[in-house]
Every structure is written in C-alpha cells, then in structure tokens.
Amino acid sequence: MKIGIPRALSYFDYFPIWKTFLDKLGFKTIISSPTTKDILDKGVSLCVDDACLPVKIFHGHVADLIGKVDTIFIPRLISVSPGEYICPKFIGLPEMVKNTISDLPPLLVFNYDLHKGIKYRGKAFNTLARQLGLSGGVVDRAYKEACSMQDKYERMLKSGQSPLNILEPKESWDESIKNKVTIGIIGHSYLLCDRYISMDLIKKIQNKGYNVKVPSNVPDKKIEENIMDIPKRMFLSYGKRMLGSGIEWLKCDEVDGIIFLSSFGCGIDSFIEELIRRYNAREYKLPYAVFSLDEHSGQAGFETRLEAFLDMMEWRNRIGHNFSAHG
C-alpha cells in the first residue's frame, strides 16, 4: 500500500520519525513534491479564504497526492510536548482537509497528543500501526528505529546545521565561508524549509556569504531558560521555540541581525513577533525586519527588501552598534 505524506506543516519537523516508521512497517511512502506555484494555487483555491498561508499550502500538497497513493497521512498534532499545544488549526487539520477537498482517498489520520505526558508518544504510534492492521514486535522495532532517526535529525539541527542541508544533502552549500556575520531567521520551520514559499530566503542569504541560524538550532535548555521571565507559561510549542530563540539571539550577541519570517494570517506569529520587536526596540536595538509572506508575495519586492536589510546591517556593523536601526 502506498501512503502519501504531504510535504507541508509539521512534515519538516517530524518526517524522520513518520517516514521511517511507515517504511519499516513495510509500506511505501510517497512524499508530495516540493511546493510549486501549482501546488500553492491548488491549495489557495481549495482552502477557505481566511486560513493562513501554510494551511493553504498543506491543502495543495494533499491535492497533489490524490491519484498517486492509496491513503494520505494527515497528522493531527494536538500537542507535541506536555502541557502545551501548537495551534488550533493543527488540531482541526483533518477536518479542514476532509470538508474542503473532494475525491480524497481514505485518510490515515495520525492523532498525536502528548499534552498529558510524553508516554503517549509510543501509544500514538501503536494506534497508527493498528489503523494499518499491524501490531506486535514489528511495530516495536519500527518505532525504535523511527525514534532513533528522529533523534539523529534533531541532533544534527542542534549542532547548528541548516535544516535545508539535512533535507537536501545533495546540494552543496559553500561551507568554506565561515563568515562572522550571522543572521537569525525566526519563523515556523514549515516556512523556513519550504524553499518556494520562503522565496528561498535561507539559501539567498547564505549565497551572499552570511551564516544563517534558525530556531531549531537553539538548544531546548536555552529556550526554556529564556521564556522563564515571561509572566505567563508559554503553552504554544512553536511559539515558545520562536520566542525563546529570539530572546537568545537578542541577549547573547550571537547574531548580527534578525529577520522574522511570518505568514499572513498566522495568529501565533503576530503575537510572538510583537513581543520580540518590542523587546528589541526597548533594549537591544539589533537590526530587525519582518518579512510577511502571503500568496501574492512577489520575488522582486522581497529581493529589494532583503538587500535593504543587509545593507543596513552592514552599515551598522561598520559604524558600531550605537544607532537605533529600528524601522
């Protein structure tokens, strides 16, 4: 049986565990092709207008898989960490897909809820296997391998590698430029890792000779430490990671500038961006820019804004950090 996995949303964070698990159970997994204009357009036309860009793209990827697979894997990530959530749309994702896309093959809905404890992780995968008619030793073995694959992926990220390098190892980045100038890009992994939708931001910046850091490079411990001072427990996992990395980069002088890549219509981005921008403006005054993406974003304007930001950063680096570069 061929199982399709949409290359969107949490795919970029969890594909090692999902894909390995399903592969080891003996299924053939097919990942939808990387985002193209066609996939985006399809998603936009299928999904309700008011949804955020990443959810629309997810719809496009699901549509891309129709006809190529026997079932489509739809993750319902309720919670990936005890006491936390991600976003209401992640929870309602299967419902959104089911009700807006017609001619779907059967869906393989993967319910994942660690809100009450990490021990539910294994259970979730067991249930997934049972949905596919499997249980027992083969499942345990597949789960183990899948976990170790996931761990490896996360270790690579934490060692500072760009997720794109891991995702597309064949591409050779010019590692020789060990430039001192580093740019931190804050954003959801599914924006940062989607080269089409992010206008290839990471690669563009790297090609200009800068280092890039992304939130998944920041160690969990640092994230936890940094959000301790927030007057309320941060209960949104992705939000927490973005905020924690932002604070880390502001505090520790690790980056020379910060770009916040947000998507139009994202309720989480808007809150986190607001906090980071205010902290920065009050205290740190690092070069800072927000790039907001929507389905109409054009390459040209994006390019110009990026150039302007980099120029400003360079200029500031030359004359020292005494000027407010905000704006």
Alpha-carbon torsion (293, 297, 303, 309), positive or negative: negative
Can you tell me the distance from the alpha carbon of 316 to that of 249, in angstroms, rounded to the nearest whole number?
17
Query: Among 26, 82, 88, 301, which residue sits at the site for other proteins (rule: CB under 8 A)?
Result: 88
Give the distance from CA 183 to its chain's centroid.
Answer: 17
Give the distance from CA 31 to its chain's centroid.
Answer: 16
Which of other proteins, ligand SF4, none binds 175 (CB below 5-8 Å, type-dependent)?
none
Q: Mask of contacts with ligand SF4, 47-66, x by CB under 6 A?
A: -----x-xx-----------
Considering the complex, state which of residue 50 and residue 103 has its C-beta at the smaller distance from other proteins. Answer: 50
User: Contact between 284 and other proteins (CB under 8 A)?
Assistant: no
User: Contact between 87 and other proteins (CB under 8 A)?
Assistant: yes
Give the number of other CB atoms < 10 A from CB of residue 158.
Answer: 13
Alpha-carbon torsion (298, 299, 300, 301), positive or negative: positive
Tell me which amino acid residue 54 is. Answer: P
Considering the complex, state which of residue 75 and residue 287 has its C-beta at the smaller distance from ligand SF4. Answer: 75
Angle formed at CA 146 by CA 145 and CA 152, multiple of 5 degrees: 90
Strands (E), the chain: 2-5, 28-31, 71-79, 107-113, 182-186, 211-213, 257-263, 288-293
Q: Which stretch binds ligand SF4 (CB under 6 A): 84-92, 99-107, 120-128, 204-212?
A: 84-92
Place of tokens 């860009």: 53
Alpha-carbon torsion (219, 223, 226, 228), positive or negative: negative
CB 106 within 8 A of CB 2: no
Minimum distance between the CB of residue 90 and other proteins, rounded to whole angstroms? 8
Size of the site for ligand SF4 (CB under 6 A): 13
Q: Mask of contacts with other proteins, 19-58, x by CB under 8 A?
A: ----------------------------xx-xxx--x---
| Inter-helix orientation angle 11-24/137-158, to 10° | 150
Considering the complex, state which of residue 33 and residue 270 has its C-beta at the smaller distance from ligand SF4. Answer: 270
| Binding to ligand SF4 in span 177-196, by CB under 6 A | 188
Which of ligand SF4, other proteins, none binds 188 (CB below 5-8 Å, type-dependent)?
ligand SF4
Which of ligand SF4, other proteins, none binds 117 (CB below 5-8 Å, type-dependent)?
none
User: Contact between 197 and ligand SF4 (CB under 6 A)?
Assistant: no
Q: Which residues bind other proteins (CB under 8 A)?
A: 47-48, 50-52, 55, 78, 83-89, 91-92, 95-96, 99-100, 230-233, 235-236, 262, 264-271, 273-275, 278, 282
Q: Which residues bind ligand SF4 (CB under 6 A)?
A: 52, 54-55, 87, 89-90, 188, 238, 263, 266-269
